[in-house]
Amino acid sequence: MFSDMARRAMWSRPSAFEIEFMRQQAQRSSSPKSVFLIGLSVSQGAPSGIAILERFKPPPSPGQRCVATYVCRYLRRWLPPDTAYPVLVADLSVMLNGPLVRSDLIVEAGSSIKPVVSMLRKQRLPAHICPVEVKVSAEDTFVGGAWRVGKGSLIETTRLVLQEERMSFDEQMPAEVMATTPSVRTVYQALLTYPFERSPAANDAFAAREGEYDDLVVAVAMACWYGENCKKTFRMLYC
């Protein structure tokens, strides 16, 4: 299933159990009405996090609001030194095979967003890469090949989806992942209670990682925000 090049490139390869777990999660739904959205929050010297959301969109019904629902199928956190870019690329090369091929990969990397996205594209990962710049307070706009999104917009969008009970979390995770990754209940509570400020004077300030679990909070929130706002428009604008 995986190329020899991908296997050789990996410094910290996911275990066979973890790979099989992800495959089973991804194959739970064979419905063509569902897609996978992958949020990736990248950092150097701090944890990097990934979240895989499955998005379901029911067919429109007369007189009824047609809204998407989400299931968070997978969470994973890389701790230093595994946050090194070659490790992340090698792990992503494995994850994006099989059912996740050509999924939307929504990437946030702080002030390093441009070099990180350039690196990912050079690796020719089998994904639609969407760069996102997270700001303290900004209008949601598509500028220079990337989305610029206010952190409040990310959190508010995700919180609304949670409050409407349109997102659930799979609780089964591999032991290798749970050794470094908080439980899904911890991430769920962090999303519900996350504090954020709106400061018009700080529109250009990066604000993605302020809390203990920000890598995973942002990864989930970006995938959810993208599913709610950009799923139909992104490929017309960018791909």
Burial class (CB in 10 A: 0-12, 13-18, 19+), 139: exposed
Q: How confident is the model at residue 170 (pLDDT cuts 50, 70, 90)?
A: confident
| pLDDT at 113 (0 to 100) | 85
Q: What is the mean pLDDT of residues 37-53?
A: 91
Would the pLDDT of 176 be above 70? Answer: no
Would the pLDDT of 51 be above 70? Answer: yes
Q: What is the mean pLDDT of residues 4-17?
A: 46
Lowest mean pLDDT among 42-46, 87-91, 207-211: 207-211
Please, how many CA atoms are within 13 Å of residue 206, restricted to the half-sphere of its CB? 14
Backbone angles phi, psi at 95, to 5 degrees: -60, -35
Would the pLDDT of 172 be above 90? Answer: no
| pLDDT at 175 (0 to 100) | 67
Neighbours of 64 (CB within 10 A): 8
Residue written as tokens 């959190």?
155
Q: How confident is the model at residue 29 (pLDDT cuts 50, 70, 90)?
A: low
| pLDDT at 5 (0 to 100) | 36
Q: What is the mean pLDDT of residues 176-190?
A: 82
Helix spans in the chain (H)? 4-9, 16-26, 85-95, 113-122, 151-163, 175-178, 184-193, 214-229, 234-237
Q: Which two tokens stand for residue 13?
A: 């390869």
**Which of 194 and 198 is assigned the larger pLDDT?**
194
| pLDDT at 232 (0 to 100) | 53
Domain region containing 55: 4-237
Q: What is the mean pLDDT of residues 50-61?
A: 85
Q: What is the pLDDT of residues 95-152, one digit of tens each?
A: 888 788 899 999 998 878 888 999 999 999 999 999 998 887 667 888 888 888 888 8
Q: What is the mean pLDDT of residues 61-86?
A: 84
**Percent of the chain scored above 70 by pLDDT?**
71
| pLDDT at 37 (0 to 100) | 95
| pLDDT at 227 (0 to 100) | 94
* pTM of the predicted model over 0.85: no
| pLDDT at 108 (0 to 100) | 92
Residue 98 is which amino acid? G
Q: How confident is the model at residue 8 (pLDDT cuts 50, 70, 90)?
A: very low
| pLDDT at 6 (0 to 100) | 36
Q: Considering its fold, how many domains does the chain have in total?
A: 1
CATH number of the domain that 187 lies in?
Answer: 3.30.420
